[in-house]
A and B are shown apart, each in its own frame.
Chain A
Amino acid sequence: MNETLNKIIGRIGLPTLIITLLFVVICVIAIIIGLPFGLIASDVIRRFGMFGVLALAMVPAIQCGTGPNFALPIGIICGLLGSLLTIEFGLTSPALGYGFISAVLISLPFAIVSGWLYGILLNKIKGSEMLVATYTGFSIVSFMQIGWVTLPFSHPEMRWPIGKGLRVTVSLESTFGEVLNRLWGFTIGGVYVPTGLLLFFLGCCWLVWIFSRSKSGIEMITVGANPKFAAAAGINVDRNRIIGTILSTILGAVGIIVYSLSFGFLQLYLAPLYMAFPAVAAVLIGGASTSKVKISHVIIGTFLFQGLLTVALPVANQMFPEGNLSEVLRMIVQNGIILYALTKMGGET
């Protein structure tokens, strides 16, 4: 009995199991205290699709051996730049997905260049990627604060009516806000299903999966799993790590565009500062480690983590009307899971 139990735990992973249980318990509480099921379920699905691509950005980074991409803000900044330029130049015709497609296309070159540069940096500091990544992300975000004030954007929807610089949040209502959510969306049993959003996320997952099956994908995974073996087999380790980093940065850029689109606002200034952490936590909850990840980890992890947070919010508000219990829960779960993964990493390599 004990053995089979251990086996099951071993296969699913202890953190995944704990979070699943917590999720189920909170869902049961939500039903017991009579919260509107339809609204909450719609919200869980929306948050799942909205956050998925950002979590997916961890996959190439972990696969190529640089560990979870704590420097996700680099990609995020590229995505934000792409969106801002789209609005600035008014590339928001319906044929361009009201700006969604143009935002993605414009952010691509930024993401490729910065991912490439960042990949070179990561190759110089092998072994300390996570810490340096965190502070690279922080530095870029705080540097771009100066950028948001000084860059010559002129569209009235983005600038403060008085004073200098861009607004803290830029509304996407008149451009590509909720475009994907509305695409083929339908309501079933009081639950709104944002088909376009989900399809886009699953499509991205499929692309990453296809890539990991291709020749270059397998090379990259070999580099991540065993750099020495890869080098001996004649694979260029540094080059593959750079490819992984570029892919991760691109996914970060696309991820923030999807996120903002579904959220309805672009969040500038300090908003991207801590955005890498929930994404890292999501894949870890799904069962990934700092060196191994599968697409299923992303899907399961994002669903569990975002679902947990979404359901916990109204439940916590019912129990403690004041104070922010769900935020506290997020901090504990998110950082607890990262700490757990760090202790599993083993000693000095």
Chain B
Amino acid sequence: MHLPRWGVKRKMTPVNQMKITPPKLSVKVRRLIFDNSVPLLFIIICLAGVYFSKLPLVFIVNTLLSRITRNSFLVLALVIPVIAGLGLNFGIVIGAMAGQFAIIIVTHYKIAGFPGFLMCLLLATPIAILFGILTALLLNRTKGQEMITSMIAGFFANGVYQFILLFLVGTLIPLKNPDLVLSRGIGIRNTIDLATETGLKYSLDGVLQYPLFNVLVVVAVIAIVSLCINYYWKRKKIPETIDNFRFLTQIITVIIILGVSLYVIRTGSPLRTVKLPIVTSLFIAGLWFFNELIIKTKLGQDFRTVGHDMEIAKISGIDVDRTRIIAMVISTVFAAWGQIIFLQNIGTLSTYGSHVQIATFSIAAILLGGASVTKATSGQAILGIILFHTLFIVSPKAGNNLFGDAQIGEFFRAFISYGVIGVALGLHAWNKRIQAMRKRLEVL
């Protein structure tokens, strides 16, 4: 969330005149806290919630882990449209519908297990590409109002989706499968069980599972070694890029993780049994890596230029509309895959409900992680998911313990998900207006 900075009145110094003096540590710490005020606030709320819910830690960690692994992919799908200036993509709902179409097809042909999962991804991709292009064409006609358009487009697509699955299946689309089709022969059932023998449940999660904390130890050790090697390499080759503060925070974080994991393993607490689905985590890590990598390519730079200023992008010869279409297609495809990963963990497809809320929840999550309408990183996405779902798990119980009513906690979390989006959007609009006013003043 970016408040108008103290730089509002200060004149910008041209880049080539700027002296590079590393800021003091205290300034850095203050800036770190200021820049991350939203996540920090919610970390405190979450910790308070965990405390007041009095839930056993094993339960929280277990539930949290399965929620993180099943939702991360969807939230990571939001990153690229933000970079490309399309704002928070409420249209991931449309991608999720593509994923659900694929799941229905695969369930019909009874392709079980991991091959079934891969088949789902394969089938969902062309559908999602088509949906992504259509959404992007719409967004290219409504520049400056992308988010409301993508939201309404999601509602609209939901109507079309229901029309296809409720009324075209069995009439225009010949499908005779009593497990899928309603007894009257028209329309897909409200819920489709994926937990059957030929179903998709745990088709990705179940491939390989290891105890979480053992994995964490290995990852932490690798991270420490690679961080150190990187540091020494930099000090030899390009010492001016060294950022001691950053290095230290990273090392300390990793060491804390290592310490906690070792402690859990040594003391043999029940947390030891918590298992991490390895392949799912690799998928998520892969998308994270992809998001980081694409920024470094020509296409990624185009995204950033378009996101920063469409006029400048046009002048420098970038096909703005095409770039925006590519960003939307990427996001929609990942949303489709994300929904498949989500549903293979849940185990039941609620045909007309599974996708409805995912945009709100994913966007609320990434915002809690500290992202804004114009800036989002994969790290913020993951942090946001952890915070959002901690809140989700503990708030009913905390509400019950604090106010004697679980409902209040539940309402509170609904309010948080809508409220955080509202506040973020409001601040963004306000900021945009101030910047526009400043621009106008400079022109005068």
Contacts and interface: CB of A to CB of B under 8 A. Distances in A.
Contacts of B428: 128
A335 B162 contact: no
B422 A139 contact: yes
Nearest to B311: A348
A335 B152 contact: yes
Contact of B426 (A130, A132, A321, A323): A132
Contact of B430 (A124, A130, A328, A345): A124
B415 A143 contact: yes
A126 to B, nearest CB: 6
A96 interface: no
B152 A338 contact: yes
B247 interface: no
Contact-residue size bin, chain B (C-beta under 8 Å from the other chain): 35 or more
A331 B144 contact: no
B412 A128 contact: no
Contacts of A329: 159
A141 B415 CA distance: 8
Nearest to B90: A131
A277 B159 CA distance: 14
Interface in A299-343: 320-325, 327-332, 334-336, 338-339, 342-343
Interface in A121-138: 121, 124-128, 130-132, 134-136, 138
A142 to B, nearest CB: 4
Given A125-B429, A134-B151, A323-B187, A348 B144 contact: yes
Contacts of A134: 148, 151
Interface string B244-271: 0000000000000000000000000000
B224 interface: no
B184 A322 contact: yes
B408 A135 contact: no
B245 to A, nearest CB: 35
Contacts of B148: 130-131, 134, 342
B264 to A, nearest CB: 37
B414 interface: yes
Interface stretch (B110-118, B135-143, B338-346): B135-143
A127 B433 contact: yes
A332 B162 CA distance: 10
A20 interface: no
A146 interface: yes
Interface in B339-373: none
A145 interface: yes
Contacts of A121: 426
B407 A138 contact: no
B429 A348 contact: no
B102 to A, nearest CB: 22
Nearest to B433: A126
Contacts of B405: 149, 164-165
Given A124-B430, A139-B422, A323-B186, A335 B155 contact: yes
A347 interface: yes
Nearest to A130: B148
Interface class of chain B by DSSP: helix
A177 B414 CA distance: 31
Contact of B418 (A125, A135, A150): A135
B411 interface: yes
A135 B422 contact: yes
Contact of A125 (B144, B153, B430): B430
B167 A323 contact: yes
Contact of B432 (A127, A130, A138, A335): A127
Contacts of A334: 155
A339 B151 CA distance: 10
A132 to B, nearest CB: 5
Contacts, number: 138
A347 to B, nearest CB: 5
B140 to A, nearest CB: 10
Contact of B166 (A135, A164, A323, A347): A323
B281 interface: no
B160 interface: yes
A188 to B, nearest CB: 36
A349 interface: yes
Contacts of B418: 135, 138-139, 141-142
Contacts of A343: 138, 141-142
B433 A132 contact: no
A125 B145 contact: no
Interface in A181-216: none
Given A328-B163, A335-B159, A131 B186 contact: no
B239 interface: no
B45 interface: no
Interface string B408-440: 100110110111011001101110110010000
Contact of B433 (A124, A146, A332, A335): A124
Contacts of B415: 139, 142-143, 145-146
A331 B433 contact: no
Contacts of A128: 145, 425, 428-429, 432
Interface string B116-128: 0000000000000
Contacts of B147: 131
Interface string A276-301: 01000000000000000000000000
Interface string A170-187: 000000000000000000
A134 B360 CA distance: 12
A131 B425 contact: yes
Nearest to A332: B159
B182 interface: yes
Given A128-B429, A322-B187, 7 more contacts: A124-B433, A131-B425, A132-B425, A138-B421, A325-B166, A338-B152, A342-B152
10 shortest A-B CB distances, which residue pairs? A331-B159, A348-B144, A125-B429, A128-B429, A135-B422, A335-B156, A332-B159, A145-B411, A138-B418, A131-B148
Interface of B: 138, 141-145, 147-149, 151-153, 155-156, 158-160, 162-163, 166-167, 182, 184, 186-187, 403, 405, 407-408, 411-412, 414-415, 417-419, 421-422, 425-426, 428-430, 432-433, 436
